[in-house]
Amino acid sequence: MSWYNIIMQVDLGNSNKLMLAIGKIVKLHRLSTGKSIYAISAECGLAKATWREVEIAACKNITLTTLWKIAEGLEISPAQIIEEVRNELGEDFTLID
């Protein structure tokens, strides 16, 4: 079982689960490009630390601008990231209590 699956079973709160899922999707896409965080973040004008924080879910939230830059760096649409995150979390996932 991967660290991601173990963490997702713990009651972290849905905001944290959302950020973990975003980080997982972003990292999978980046690895598929064969690029390092340093290279891909430089190409899309995003700080290396910001990209890393997204991948490891160290940030509490992500702005639309950051998500858009990440998507451009990955050469996919922001909608694709959101759809993959939605599929990862399931249709019943919500941030509303």
Confidence band for 8, pLDDT divided at 50, 70 and 90 = very low
Fold classification of 13-89 (topology level): 434 Repressor (Amino-terminal Domain) (1.10.260)
User: What predicted TM-score, i.e. pTM, was given to this entire model?
Assistant: 0.85
**pLDDT tens digits for range 23-82:** 999 999 999 999 999 999 999 999 999 999 999 999 888 999 999 999 999 999 999 999
Exposed (0-12), middle (13-18) or buried (19+): which is 32, by Cβ within 10 Å?
exposed
Confidence band for 5, pLDDT divided at 50, 70 and 90 = low
Residue 87 CA to its chain's centroid (Å) = 13
Exposed (0-12), middle (13-18) or buried (19+): which is 24, by Cβ within 10 Å?
buried
Domain-wise residue ranges, the chain: 13-89
Q: What is the distance between the alpha carbons of residues 97 and 78, in angstroms, rounded to a whole number?
A: 26
Mean pLDDT confidence for 8-36 = 87
